[in-house]
């Protein structure tokens, strides 16, 4: 038995897979272990209660490969997580680990390595999607006595944890990729920049580096060759802007994480003024696969311009949350409904945001959109590092835009005016709209301001920050209009536009709402109609949650309905 990294199906963890048969047990508890060993491993019996049940068919599924969550995936990077103990380098070596490195050091020149990566069509998985091989070539062609490479593991997107899981579950794949990259560009030193909020990732990657040095894969004269290279772990403090490459280099140098103007680009003048190549965790993990199996194999996965697979963090209002690795070109519908199992509680799908807090929101009528770099950009969103947040019919898109702009505004380093001031102004306008104080001209102001921020910001944080506003305006302008013109939130989310009211024709005086109100805003006697004091109500929705479904006396109103209810409340008070 061995402890492995994340299998991806986080919704059903802890997961146990029994090899070689691939028996899949989910939500395994400590007290189940003895039974699994006795019944399944020794006596070859299946434990029914630990099997996954397909919610659509009711069928019990025994083998991992038959679980719907995995069927549409192509786990070329993530797949080995289920076979490797990340604390044991020999597990990685047993699965052809460091084989690509040996091939590169003794059978290939640096130019041949770069040519192979270029021919594969691999694009950087950090967000920008720049061709990795071309980036390496630019760095190699710059003359310098010292060069560096960096692994960007500063994963700051809310709800994203792809890079963390790779560092935790298969750290040597990242290390091997970095060594190959260093050989290709002529670097002698590398850094893995990982945030301190990932203690297990820091622990496993640090241990993996120590083991790699002991085995001769790092340090002087790697594997007896003339190539020397070593890697250091740098723990970041968690600033979102540190994920931007020039900010990251400033942080490693001991300065504040501020971006700088480009050009010069890092490949020309990077860490301590020396040529530097930066790729993210997933990009580096692809490299050993490409060198082992060939550029032709890799380039046949994905689309014409977006090769290979992409790992997404699938979260939100969806039945199957977790990490999914899919070939480029798969549709949103396949990810959300076939892998993700559809929307929770049978509700309607409304939108999905790709690309993290700076990504765009894609509506339901674009569910058949294919996932690749260029298609997402045309839709107003982006690939980003791989965040994918699913939203249902109860989501207010104006509030979503406000939430993400608030995040980027707080994480702005403040160096440039368009980002520092512009994002704050966007937040102020969006907040006014959600509170019912919006004006008709606000829609045009949002569009103009968002475009100015995109055009004038210094780094990628500011340049992409307005995407949630622009895409929600593009696809959900009717919701903005409802908030502004009707003072109504169609999704019944914005508290200032909602009133909770007890229907006197339905209330049976059961006292449930009264007992559960946290601010004692409800009054009434048993078997008598209850009343909500609108001056005390904090609009938490507790009364609605506990009101019996068959009674449904508590209702929410917005817009004109709200005005009518308030007038009724005021007239009743006047009579009293």
pLDDT digits (tens, 9 = 90+) for 176-215: 999 999 999 999 999 999 999 999 999 999 999 999 999 9
pLDDT digits (tens, 9 = 90+) for 285-344: 999 999 999 999 999 999 999 999 999 999 999 999 999 999 999 999 999 999 999 999
- Of 452, 485, 518, the one marking the end of a domain is 485
Distances (CA, A) of 440 to 356, 398, 484: 29, 15, 6
- Same domain for 135 and 178, yes or no, is yes
The dihedral over CA atoms of 250, 253, 255, 258, expressed in degrees to the nearest 10, equals 0
* Predicted TM-score (pTM) above 0.85: yes
- Same domain for 454 and 333, yes or no, is no
Confidence of residue 572 (pLDDT cuts 50, 70, 90): low
Supply the pLDDT for residue 3. 86
- Same domain for 445 and 513, yes or no, is no
Collapse the DSSP code of 445 into the 3-class scheme (helix H, G, I; strand E, B; otherwise coil) and give the result: helix
| CATH code for position 461 | 1.20.1440.230
Residue 2 in domain: no
Q: Which of 253, 268, 102, 90 is nearest to 172 (CA)?
A: 90
- Of 485, 508, 526, the one marking the end of a domain is 485
- Same domain for 295 and 317, yes or no, is no
- Same domain for 140 and 267, yes or no, is yes
Quick check: 70 pLDDT over 90? yes
User: In the chain, pLDDT over 70 holds for what percent of residues?
Assistant: 97
Q: Dump the DSSP string for 380-405.
A: T---TTSEEEEEETT--HHHHHHHHH
Q: Which of 419, 417, 403, 400 is nearest to 461 (CA)?
A: 419
- Same domain for 279 and 338, yes or no, is no
Residue 185 in domain: yes
DSSP code for 300: T
> Do 155 and 385 form a contact (C-beta atoms < 8 A)?
yes
pLDDT digits (tens, 9 = 90+) for 9-35: 988 989 999 999 999 999 999 999 999
The dihedrals phi and psi of 563, each to the nearest 5 degrees, come to: -60, -40
DSSP code for 500: E
- Of 337, 358, 392, the one marking the end of a domain is 392
The dihedrals phi and psi of 92, each to the nearest 5 degrees, come to: -70, -40
- Same domain for 428 and 545, yes or no, is no
More confident residue, 358 or 480: 480
> Do 565 and 531 form a contact (C-beta atoms < 8 A)?
no
Per the structure, the count of domains in the chain is 5
- Same domain for 184 and 260, yes or no, is yes
Quick check: 573 pLDDT over 90? no
Paired tokens of 536: 């005390």
| CATH code for position 367 | 3.10.20.600
* Helical residues (DSSP H) of 6-55, grouped into ranges: 33-35
> Do 173 and 163 form a contact (C-beta atoms < 8 A)?
no
> Do 128 and 266 form a contact (C-beta atoms < 8 A)?
no
Biggest alpha carbon distance in the chain? Answer: 95
Return all residues near 381 (Cβ < 8 A) that are at least 6 apart.
353, 354, 355, 359, 360, 361, 362, 467, 471
Quick check: 576 pLDDT over 50? no
- Same domain for 98 and 54, yes or no, is no
DSSP code for 195: E
- Same domain for 475 and 401, yes or no, is yes
| Domain range enclosing 331 | 309-392
- Nearest-angstrom CA–CA distance, 97 and 90: 8
- Same domain for 104 and 192, yes or no, is yes
Collapse the DSSP code of 302 into the 3-class scheme (helix H, G, I; strand E, B; otherwise coil) and give the result: strand
- Same domain for 211 and 232, yes or no, is yes
């Amino acid at each position: 038995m061995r402890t492995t990294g994340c299998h991806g199906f986080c919704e059903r963890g802890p997961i146990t897979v029994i090899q070689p048969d691939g028996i899949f047990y989910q939500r395994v508890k400590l007290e189940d272990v003895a039974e699994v060993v006795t019944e399944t491993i020794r006596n070859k019996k299946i434990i029914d209660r630990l099997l996954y049940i397909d919610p659509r068919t009711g069928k019990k599924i025994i083998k991992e490969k038959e679980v719907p969550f995995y069927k549409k995936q192509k786990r070329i990077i993530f797949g080995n997580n289920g076979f490797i103990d990340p604390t044991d380098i020999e597990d990685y070596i047993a699965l052809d680990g460091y084989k690509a490195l040996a091939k590169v050091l003794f059978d290939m020149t640096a130019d041949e390595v770069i040519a192979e990566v270029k021919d594969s069509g691999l694009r950087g998985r950090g967000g920008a999607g720049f061709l990795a091989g071309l980036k390496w070539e630019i760095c190699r062609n710059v003359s310098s006595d010292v060069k560096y490479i960096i692994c960007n593991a500063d994963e700051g997107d809310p709800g994203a944890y792809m890079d963390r899981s790779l560092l935790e579950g298969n750290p040597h794949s990242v290390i091997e990729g970095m060594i190959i990259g260093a050989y290709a560009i002529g670097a002698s030193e590398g850094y893995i920049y990982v945030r301190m909020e990932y203690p297990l990732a820091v622990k496993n990657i640090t241990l993996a580096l120590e083991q790699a040095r002991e085995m001769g894969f790092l340090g002087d004269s790697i594997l007896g060759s003339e190539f020397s290279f070593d890697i250091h772990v740098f723990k970041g403090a968690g600033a979102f802007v540190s994920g931007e490459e020039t900010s990251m280099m400033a942080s490693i140098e001991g300065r504040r994480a501020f971006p700088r103007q480009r050009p010069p680009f890092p490949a020309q003048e990077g860490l301590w003024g020396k040529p530097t190549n930066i790729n993210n965790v997933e990009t580096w993990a692809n490299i050993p696969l490409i060198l082992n199996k060939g550029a032709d194999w890799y380039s046949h996965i994905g689309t014409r311009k977006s090769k290979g697979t992409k790992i997404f963090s699938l979260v939100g209002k969806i039945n199957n949350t977790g990490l999914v690795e899919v070939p480029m070109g798969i549709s949103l519908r396949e990810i959300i409904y076939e892998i993700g199992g559809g929307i929770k509680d049978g509700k309607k799908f409304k939108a999905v945001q790709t690309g993290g807090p700076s990504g765009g929101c894609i509506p339901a009528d674009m569910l058949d959109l294919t996932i690749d770099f260029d298609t997402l950009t045309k839709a107003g969103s982006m690939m980003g590092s791989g965040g994918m947040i699913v939203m249902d019919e109860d989501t207010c898109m104006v509030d979503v835009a406000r939430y993400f702009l608030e995040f980027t505004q707080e994480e702005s380093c403040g160096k440039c005016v368009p980002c520092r001031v512009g994002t704050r102004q966007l937040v102020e306008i969006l907040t006014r709209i959600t509170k019912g104080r919006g004006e008709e001209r606000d829609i045009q102001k949002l569009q103009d301001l968002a475009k100015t921020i995109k055009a004038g910001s210094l780094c990628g944080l500011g340049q992409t920050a307005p995407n949630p506003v622009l895409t929600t305006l593009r696809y959900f302008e009717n919701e903005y209009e409802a908030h502004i013109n009707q003072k109504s939130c169609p999704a019944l989310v914005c508290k200032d536009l909602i009133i909770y009211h007890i229907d006197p024709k339905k209330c049976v005086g059961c006292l449930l709402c009264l007992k559960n109100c946290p601010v004692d805003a409800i009054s009434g006697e048993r078997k008598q109609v209850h009343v909500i004091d609108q001056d005390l109500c904090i609009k938490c929705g507790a009364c609605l949650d506990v009101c019996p479904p068959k009674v449904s006396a508590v209702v929410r109103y917005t817009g004109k309905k709200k005005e009518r209810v308030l007038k009724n409340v005021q007239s009743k008070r006047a009579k009293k």
